[in-house]
Amino acid sequence: MRRQAGAAGPYLLVLPGGLWLAVFFVVPMAVMLSVSLQTGNVVDGFTQTFNFRIYADAVTTYETQFIRSLIFGLIATVATILLAYPMAYWIAFHAGRNKSNYLFLVLLPFFVSFVIRTVSWKFLLADDGILLGNLKDAGLLPADFHVLATSFAVVAGLTYNFFPFMLLPIYVALERVDPQLLEAADDLYANRREVFGRVVLPLSMPGVFAGFLLTFVPATADFVNAYVLGGTNTTMIGNIIQTTYLTNADYPLASAVSFILMAVLLIGIFGYARLLGTRDVLEMSAR
Amino acid sequence: MTILDAAPPRLGPAGEDRSRSGRRSGRLGQRLLHAYTWLILLWLVLPIIVMIVFGFNDRVGKRNNTWNGFTLRWWGELFAIPDLTTALVNSLTIALLSTAVATVLGTLMGLGLGRHSFRGRGGVELLMFANIAAPEVVLGASLLSLFITMGVPRGYLTILIAHIMFNISYVAVVVRARLAGFDSSVEEAARDLGAGPFTTFRLVTLPLILPGVVSGALLAFAMSIDEYVITTFNAGSTLTFPLWVFGATRVGVPPQVNVMATIIFVAGVLLALGNALLLRRRRV
């Protein structure tokens, strides 16, 4: 009896949640693929035509936005690595008993909605706002200087919003470094630079990789920062998906664009996961 | 070991000397890094401080971007914008309901994955991994494709379905992470003493994994109340708090939004601190 229950047990535990994910995550992907190969419009309805050319059309039409999104995502991700690493290093090795307090402070932005944080930056960076307005009044900036509606504003917004996703995995990886290894390196007359370059940095790379994944994917696919902080020249592929779906109701084209975006990102993700193992990345992301 | 082998041993007084001066510069470096850490923390909280402060701003005109003096007016008129109030109530109830469902389903999943090895476990893990790693805009758009194709009208219910969908994996991952080092012999002991599977779960397993379950639930609640991207695809004409704010960005966000966000922020921080304190007390 018990052995039988044991065999069915894990399936019963996993089934309800797994079913929910299957129906509302996996099936929608298949449906979206099918929608992308339909032709028609909202008024007359859509018919399945297997119009594969739409994928080529989507790429040529939105090439600029695809490339811009990848570049913005990449710059923001590299910026978060450079900004987060020294801080994660200090917290992991020198914050002592206050480690968890510092981590809590890093997580504070998450208690405010993503949209509101971004709106708050728009407000801070406004042409006549509290930052630029005062600097202009003091004569430190030319009157026509502006930050909003530039690529810089969008990339800065992305960097800000995804910073904790980079800091936490790097911190976790650094925290795991055995202090005895550092002592051993010191005993072997390695100088500080060598200890860092040959011991600490290599051991923290899994954290950087996990952080890269957790930052690059959402930053590349984001459209909130480009909408709130950007202008007409900073439109990202996420904005295209949103307007094509919700405003233009061109479901096949929007689905095709979404699919291309996901394919590009997922190939990267799974390449990554192969390299590192899904479990490590998942556990890092759960922190 | 290879790291140790790779470091060439260097002996002699010169090496010691360098190490001592290195230590001194190390202390300076530490102080710089400490200052740097606080600089970054300031950057992280700057928009939050501005958000809180401008909820007290006696603004004139439609734009709330210069300081005009202190007022409590917006706190008094918190619910003066009916649509905004409705959106906030929607956000809160959706967060509560989706958290409840996702916590139950996610906890079961976490238990199944963390305690048992079974055929197909790798597949389930891959499913969860893809769910967490997939970009939100794609999750939202594909779910909308499903609802459009099936002719399901978008609204409160579809938002709820979406929020449960993205929360299950997070709860499962958090619960499973807490299962590391779980001693299943206590469960066997309970069963040997005649407890049925449900009694064992209620009296032995659940109390042991409760910190993980609570953390998972808090994470789910925070993610749900914060979520914009997936929601906007599946909301129809129903509005949540982030959706309402997003819609208002081009015309000017009223100070009531600052006040509501401040209240959510303070409540969230207190809740998280309370949970941390409880966990610390349990451990003692």
Average pLDDT of the segment spanning B205-218 = 88
To which residue do tokens 């002699």 refer?
B12
Residue A36 lies in a domain: no
Question: Chain A partners of B126 at a C-beta cutoff of 8 Å?
Answer: 278
In chain B, whose CA is at the least distance from the CA of A123? Answer: B65
Q: Which two tokens stand for residue A17?
A: 């949640």
pLDDT-derived band at A235 (thresholds 50, 70, 90) equals very high
ipTM of the prediction: 0.89
- Long-range pairs for B77-85: beta carbons < 8 A, 24 or more residues apart: B77/B256, B78/B256, B78/B259, B78/B260, B79/B256, B80/B256, B81/B254, B81/B256, B83/B239, B83/B244, B84/B241, B84/B244, B84/B254, B84/B256, B84/B257, B84/B260
Q: Which of A3-17, B8-22, B165-179 has the lowest mean pLDDT?
A: B8-22
**What distance in Å separates residue A178's CA from the closest CA in chain B?**
12
* pLDDT number for residue B149: 93
Average pLDDT of the segment spanning B10-36 = 64
pLDDT-derived band at B11 (thresholds 50, 70, 90) equals very low
Task: Specify the DSSP element, H or E, that contains A87.
Answer: helix A63-94
- Interface mutation target, options A82, A90, A116, A174, chain B, most CBs of B under 10 Å: A116
Kindly determine whether residue B138 and residue A112, on different chains, have CB atoms separated by under 8 Å.
Answer: no
Q: What is the pTM of this model?
A: 0.87
The yes-or-no verdict on residue B132 having pLDDT over 70 is: yes
pLDDT-derived band at A151 (thresholds 50, 70, 90) equals very high
Domains identified in chain B and CATH numbers: 82-253 (1.10.3720.10)
**What distance in Å separates residue A115's CA from the closest CA in chain B?**
6
Chain A stretch 6-65, residues whose beta carbon is closer than 8 A to a beta carbon of chain B: 6, 9-14, 16-18, 20-22, 24-29, 31-32, 34-35
Average pLDDT of the segment spanning A131-150 = 85
**What distance in Å separates residue B76's CA from the closest CA in chain A?**
21
Question: Chain A partners of B151 at a C-beta cutoff of 8 Å?
Answer: none
* pLDDT number for residue A165: 92
Whether the CB-CB separation of A27 and B146 falls below 8 Å is answered with yes
Residue A142 lies in a domain: yes
Domain that residue A98 falls in: 62-286
* pLDDT number for residue A56: 94
Kindly determine whether residue A111 and residue B272, on different chains, have CB atoms separated by under 8 Å.
Answer: yes
Average pLDDT of the segment spanning A20-48 = 92
pLDDT-derived band at B49 (thresholds 50, 70, 90) equals very high
At A167-217, the pLDDT tens digits run: 999 999 999 888 888 888 888 888 888 888 888 998 898 889 889 988 999
* pLDDT number for residue A197: 87
* pLDDT number for residue A4: 41
CA distances in angstroms from A198 to A85, A115, A175, B8, B17, listed in the order given: 16, 41, 17, 11, 21
- Interface mutation target, options B128, B137, B224, B263, chain A, most CBs of A under 10 Å: B137
* pLDDT number for residue A271: 76
Residue A249 CA from chain centroid, whole number: 26
Separation CA B71–CA B64 (nearest Å): 13
Average pLDDT of the segment spanning A220-249 = 94
* pLDDT number for residue B251: 83
Q: Which of A115-129, B3-17, B85-99 has the lowest mean pLDDT?
A: B3-17
A112 near B CB under 8 A: yes
Structurally, how many domains does chain A consist of? 1
* pLDDT number for residue A3: 40
* pLDDT number for residue B151: 93
- Interface mutation target, options A2, A24, A89, chain B, most CBs of B under 10 Å: A24
> Which domain CATH number covers A209?
1.10.3720.10
Kindly determine whether residue B272 and residue A13, on different chains, have CB atoms separated by under 8 Å.
Answer: no
Residue A39 lies in a domain: no
Computed over every residue of chain A, the mean pLDDT equals 88
Residue A13 lies in a domain: no
The yes-or-no verdict on residue B272 having pLDDT over 60 is: yes
Q: Which of A85-89, A225-229, B141-145, B276-280 has the lowest mean pLDDT?
A: B276-280
Residue A29 lies in a domain: no
In chain B, whose CA is at the least distance from the CA of A215? Answer: B133
Which DSSP category does B70 fall into? B
At B26-45, the pLDDT tens digits run: 788 899 999 999 999 999 99
Closest alpha carbon to A273 in A286, A261, A283, A259: A283
Residue A15 lies in a domain: no
**Residue A160, CB-side half-sphere exposure with 13 Å CA sphere:** 28
At A44-67, the pLDDT tens digits run: 888 889 889 999 999 999 999 999
The yes-or-no verdict on residue B143 having pLDDT over 90 is: yes
The yes-or-no verdict on residue A252 having pLDDT over 90 is: yes
Q: Which of A155-164, B106-115, B122-131 has the highest mean pLDDT?
A: A155-164
